[in-house]
Amino acid sequence: MEGKKVTLRDLAVKAGLSVNTVSRALKDKEDIAESTRKLIKDLAKEMGYVGNALAGSLRSGLTKTIAVIVSDVANPHFGIMVKDIEKSARKHNYTIFVIGTEDDHEMEERAIYTAIGKNVDGIIICPSQRSADTIRLLKKNGVPFVLIGRRFEEEPEFDYVICDDEKGGYLATKHLLDSGHERVLYLNGPSRISSARERLDGYKRAYREAGLPIREDLIIDVEPAAGDARRIVKQLLERKADFTGIFAFNDVIAWEAAYVLQKYGHRVPEDYAIIGFDNIQSRLFLPFQLSSISNSKGKMSKRAVDILLYKINHPDSTETYRDVIDTALILRDSTGRSASEQG
């Protein structure tokens, strides 16, 4: 059979059985004897038979595929999240494919059209939030979807799973303030992003509770593209901006800030304390021990898959899911607390 795709009929001829019997054996139907099922599966493996997923999807109406659309596949946060989504989906015999958007609205739109065109059963998406139009497109096409990590407050019908960003921003800032850093630089994400706005709310709450004035000049939006945080921190150091603590929108931004500080001869945490967000080092063990906010990526990913599969299997459901996963402060060396003490 070399050079030619093996068919069910080829298997049936080789086994001396009907095509229907072979098909049912491969599907593990209980009306076929277990010994026969094993014989057929072994033969299929030996001959290199691969089932026709498209034919199966035409019969069932499902392709058993999920598209995962994220803004930055280079960010380990999204890499870990995608891995957790894939692990959860695999348990339900679903395959995922990943599309990156680089946080670009047009690329996000193309990604959604691509996913719909491939007849995926559903989509998990971390939206760029430059517009809700692309997400409304999914709604119009009847494609089940779940937002992960970000939400549209003005679109109450969109299902989402997020972490408690406001609490995370509060915990990070409060720890820095309690440690004596009254001037905390907040390197935030773009303000169009819901999680950036909510983390900023937490930052401001910590300042209000401490009875300290909020310094708007220490709140700076950073574009997610690599290098923007380095440029900003470099400029702040060169003009001798007045801060001793840094809270970063994510761990990647925090690492970039630490890189610039150390390049200019400053010490972390002796001269500057730094806290990130995402707790990437719960999975990656790096020499620079960064304090961070844990957003339970595993729980968020599993919950997003569970909600999406429910939506896929119950297309008439009108239930809306707005899940908020708890956040926690994980202290490491970058704030003067050693990893052996916590995290």
- Regarding whether 28 and 145 lie in a shared domain, the answer is no
Residue 232 has what pLDDT? 96
Under 8 Å between Cβ of 187 and 153:
no
Residue 339 has what pLDDT? 38
- Regarding whether 170 and 213 lie in a shared domain, the answer is yes
Residue 137 has what pLDDT? 87
Residue 283 has what pLDDT? 87
Count: domains in the chain: 3
Q: What is the CATH number of the domain that holds 276?
A: 3.40.50.2300
Q: Which domain holds residue 125?
A: 63-163+297-326
- Identify which has the larger pLDDT, 69 or 50: 69
Model pTM? Answer: 0.83
Pairing of strands 160-163, 322-325: parallel
pLDDT single digits (tens) 267-291: 999 999 999 999 999 988 888 899 9
Distance CA(167)–CA(58), nearest Å, equals: 46
- Regarding whether 284 and 237 lie in a shared domain, the answer is yes
Model confidence at 162, in pLDDT bands (50, 70, 90)?
very high
What percentage of the chain carries pLDDT values higher than 90? 70
Distance CA(250)–CA(256), nearest Å, equals: 10
- Regarding whether 283 and 173 lie in a shared domain, the answer is yes
Residue 6 has what pLDDT? 79
55's CB contacts (< 8 A; 6+ apart) are: none
Single out the residue of 103, 246, 136, 110 nearest to residue 181, CA to CA: 246
Residue matched to tokens 């015999």: 93
- Regarding whether 302 and 158 lie in a shared domain, the answer is yes
- Regarding whether 102 and 251 lie in a shared domain, the answer is no
Model confidence at 140, in pLDDT bands (50, 70, 90)?
confident
Q: What is the CATH number of the domain that holds 31?
A: 1.10.260
pLDDT single digits (tens) 4-55: 677 888 888 989 999 899 888 888 888 999 999 999 988 988 887 776 555 5
Residue 201 has what pLDDT? 98
The answer to whether residue 56 is domain-embedded is no
The answer to whether residue 319 is domain-embedded is yes
